[in-house]
Structure 1
Amino acid sequence: MKNLQPKILWIDDEIDHLKPHILFLQEKGYYVTTSTTGNEALGFIKEQSFDLVLIDQFMPGDDGIETSVNIKSINPSVPIIMITKSEEEWLIDEAIYKKIDRLLIKPVNPSQIFAACKQVLEGGYILSEKSKAEYLSHFQDIENLTIQASTINDWWEIYTKLVKWQIDFDDQKEESLIQILRDQFKSVNKTFSQYIIKNYPKWLTVADRPTLSCDIFSKKIKPLLKRDKKTCLLVMDAMRLDQFVELNTMLSKDFAVEMEPSLSLIPSATPYSRNAIFSGLFADEMCDLYPNQKKEMIEDKGSLNNFEKEFLSDQMKKNGFSDKKMHYHKIWIADEGKRFSSKIKNFINNDLLAIVVNFVDQLAHRRSESDVLKEMVPDESGYRKAVGNW
């Protein structure tokens, strides 16, 4: 809930010159306490709680940076806005390093001070309220899109919209609104399932179909290899779009990312859908072509994905890439990922580098089995952050 009268501590040795600014903030509903020295301000910080600190850099005694450090040692969470005449880069760097939230360069008028305070103090609340209003205004649009959806691209558009709201609501505290989104997800999933039931059988027999697991190589990898493009196939097992969006904030710093939809085979379980990526085959075709591997997978569930390298190698040969160099690598734990990363130069001459990462799948299974993990990753927001942190 929005704080009805946020408390601000303003530290400036020339505070008397700032009365118009202080009056303006008070008229806007802020309670302002003033101080002329860093030491006096620390006394206030120890005695009471403030929502925001405004501080001048150049003051007798401890300057603004030093005082800010001392304030943070008492109350690490209080946001600080520094106001200074200096535009020197060293001061800007130091302010960033000392985790000062904003830096304003004098002269500043009352409206500028108010805008900075509002952004720091009420930014989260305003964002939440605006996000809530925007979602509710788009709720019916999504419902209409669901009714009209006739292609996978239509469903992709709906899904990306819902995931956007799901992520936007990570910090939303209004449970009733979150429940509306959950219910809409369920409703859309039900309609999407009906769409799949209706269309999946015909996709099995036609070439003009959405990209399925068994089409990934032929549609995405093969064209690159034909143009002699060195290619990396990275399979993040069991990763959802909302989790990928979390990763994309990191990936997009180094890569131009384009996203396109594809569909898992049915059943979507790992031995069918993931093996199909590497074999390029439907499950019945794979069983006919690889009877020994089928037998071993039936007898030992731990071997369900033990043949991906073999499947991929055969698919390379079938598509005329026998002369291409390929490396397959599976990463189960973070340490294995680090070891692989340290040896990455050994693989740069491969035409195709295939990497499978199992962490998300393992987390999903272990989360459902472990009370400790359920506590650590209590909801979908926590799930996304756990994937990103890993």
Structure 2
Amino acid sequence: MQETKILWADDEINLLKPHILLLNEKGYQVTTFTNGNDALEGFGKEHFDLVFLDENMPGMSGLETLSAIKNVSPDVPVVLITKSEEENLMEDAIGSKIDDYLIKPVNPKQVLLTIKKLIDNKRLVSEKTSMAYQQDFRRLGMTLNDRLNYEEWVEVYKKIIFWELELEKLDDQQMHEILTLQKSEANMQFSKFIEDNYMDWVNGNGKPPMLSHELLKKKVFPLINSTTPVFFILIDNLRYDQWRVINPLITEYFRIDEEDMYSSILPTATQYARNAIFSGLLPLDMEKRHPNLWLNDDDEGGKNMHEEAFLGEQIKRSLRKDCKFSYHKILTYDDGKALVEQSANLMQNDFNAIVFNFVDMLSHARTDMQMIRELANDDAAYRSLTLSWFEHSALLDLLKKLAQKNVKVVLTTDHGTIRVKKPSKVIGDRSTNTNLRYKQGRNLSYNDKEVFAIKNPNDAHLPKINISSSYIFAKEDSYFVYPNNYNQFVNYYNETFQHGGISLEEMIIPIVTYSPR
């Protein structure tokens, strides 16, 4: 391991020789200076991992040297050594971004503790995190071989995301690769689980999880009353891990009343999953009950243009009482800004449904734009872009305003998304839809082992375009490619984020209820 290099500036450096000898014995390389000017010059000539500065030196003071060093390299930790704890001195030091301070006379143990806290802490945390994951890796591996129910799959997925976010902080490529393999194994087993159980779920057999069409009735409508407006906020295409990274910002203003997970229906696509949420119906029932609103894959026009009408019908059907509600779809920053400005008017409603489309647009932009591909070149970067959007979004501005009111906020999504890596060949006629994670059409030709096929869509409460239509769903991280233009398709779509199929990321998604702090 490379030696830790320490710069120590003190006009009485000779008195500190015992400290410096001890540090050298412990494997630290210490370079000493007797004044701030020389220290700053030395700092500019080589790399140091940590700086100790005496506060009271002739010429440049410790605080002046601190400020100059931070201007050169703001990330290097600096420790101020002072004879007093005067309030104004500490305020100046903190304002100059001091990392720690010691009071004279310092003893060697204090110095060692400070070094370990500022330098070795990252290494120690890294080692402990890697060791803890290695232990959990074995437990998770054994769990994946069990016959899990839906609740147990939720816990497995949460655990995988926990480690993904923890290991993201470490520069340990081997651990990342191990986790990636384990996540892939989990998705393979989860796909088998869905194949074995999905048809029972949509037909109400066994013990189905909460599905898209039950979301409002089970989780949101019971919150509606005459005194507390309910805000139902749906961020399109938001995965559980993305929610995890934006949630700390939300909980600065709100407390979590309930955190739950539900399963998106298939296909995990907006046209099906989100329409099911707002209508309270499975797709086949939407087509039958609302033929004027439901559009099939081959119909012209936007497929989710009637959510407000679907919502109104579901409110009438489920609540059976007057409910003043609003529906807003936010596609641009200006849309969001306008909504924030009229937030006081929304307080007059019993229920407000708001759809934010940014994350969905981000996933599509990542496919279509090279610059976004480079900015979101993996899951960690994709999360980072989501967080950056949220920090500066109209949604956060809206939440800050709502936090000052007596409201309930329910935050969720309609489905997640997965980064696809494995092309799967499929052949279909001209009427076959274009989605890369599911196909609906006649005479589909495919590899049976690579898909979940539903030969009779009506059995899964899915509409069919014609009497011989069937559906196939991509599993794990595969995506459908036509044999003609195969290489062109693969070059364009490989490693892009897609949805519509079967994976932990697409199907297991959060619904969280908040109250203002």
After TM superposition, the score normalised by the length of structure 1 is 0.92
* CA separation of 1:95 and 1:383: change in aligned 2, threshold 3 A: farther
Whole-angstrom CA distance in 2 between matches of 1:295 and 1:236 = 22
Whole-angstrom CA distance in 2 between matches of 1:248 and 1:29 = 41
SS at the partner of 1:259?
strand
Query: Which residue in 2 is equivalent to 1:331?
Result: 330
Q: Which runs of 5+ in 1 are unaligned?
A: none
Query: Which residue in 1 is equivalent to 2:220?
Result: 221
Deviates more, 1:212-221 or 1:107-116: 107-116
For residue 307 of structure 2, what is the amino acid of its counterpart?
A: E
- Aligned-pair identity (%): 38
User: Does structure 1 retain, via aligned residues, the 8 Å contact 2:295–2:303?
Assistant: no
Query: Which residue in 2 is equivalent to 1:170?
Result: 168
Whole-angstrom CA distance in 2 between matches of 1:295 and 1:318 = 22
Query: Which residue in 2 is equivalent to 1:289?
Result: 289
Q: 1:138-193 deviations in whole A, cap 9, x for unaligned?
A: 11101222223532221111111100111112143333321211111111111111
User: Does structure 1 retain, via aligned residues, the 8 Å contact 2:216–2:277?
Assistant: yes
Query: Which residue in 2 is equivalent to 1:52?
Result: 50
* CA separation of 1:16 and 1:348: change in aligned 2, threshold 3 A: farther
Deviates more, 1:72-81 or 1:240-249: 72-81
User: Does structure 2 retain, via aligned residues, the 8 Å contact 1:243–1:388?
Assistant: yes
Relative contact order, CA 8 A, sep 6+: which one is greater?
Answer: 2
* CA separation of 1:304 and 1:32: change in aligned 2, threshold 3 A: same
For residue 268 of structure 2, what is the amino acid of its counterpart?
A: S
Q: Hey, which of these two has a bigger chunk of strand by percent?
A: 2
Offset of residue 136 of structure 1: 1.2
Whole-angstrom CA distance in 2 between matches of 1:54 and 1:335 = 50
Whole-angstrom CA distance in 2 between matches of 1:212 and 1:353 = 21
For residue 278 of structure 2, what is the amino acid of its counterpart?
A: F
Map 1:91-170; keep pairs closer than 5 Å: 91-170=89-168
Deviates more, 1:20-29 or 1:79-88: 79-88
Query: Which residue in 2 is equivalent to 1:233?
Result: 232
Q: 1:291-331 deviations in whole A, cap 9, x for unaligned?
A: 11224875335x22211111112111112355222121222
Deviates more, 1:108-117 or 1:45-54: 108-117
SS at the partner of 1:34?
strand
User: Does structure 2 retain, via aligned residues, the 8 Å contact 1:152–1:261?
Assistant: no
Query: Which residue in 2 is equivalent to 1:30?
Result: 28
Counting matched residue pairs gives: 387
Q: Please tell me the root mean square deviation across aligned C-alpha atoms, in Å.
A: 2.2
Whole-angstrom CA distance in 1 between matches of 2:360 and 2:148 = 30
SS at the partner of 2:319?
coil
Whole-angstrom CA distance in 1 between matches of 2:154 and 2:319 = 33
After TM superposition, the score normalised by the length of structure 2 is 0.70
Offset of residue 14 of structure 1: 3.0
Whole-angstrom CA distance in 2 between matches of 1:151 and 1:275 = 27
Query: Which residue in 2 is equivalent to 1:362?
Result: 361
For residue 266 of structure 2, what is the amino acid of its counterpart?
A: I
User: Does structure 2 retain, via aligned residues, the 8 Å contact 1:5–1:29?
Assistant: yes
Whole-angstrom CA distance in 2 between matches of 1:103 and 1:333 = 47
* CA separation of 1:133 and 1:336: change in aligned 2, threshold 3 A: same
Q: Hey, which of these two has a bigger chunk of helix by percent?
A: 1
Query: Which residue in 1 is equivalent to 2:414?
Result: none
Q: Which runs of 5+ in 2 are unaligned?
A: 390-517
* CA separation of 1:90 and 1:306: change in aligned 2, threshold 3 A: farther
For residue 377 of structure 1, what is the amino acid of its counterpart?
A: A
Whole-angstrom CA distance in 2 between matches of 1:187 and 1:387 = 26
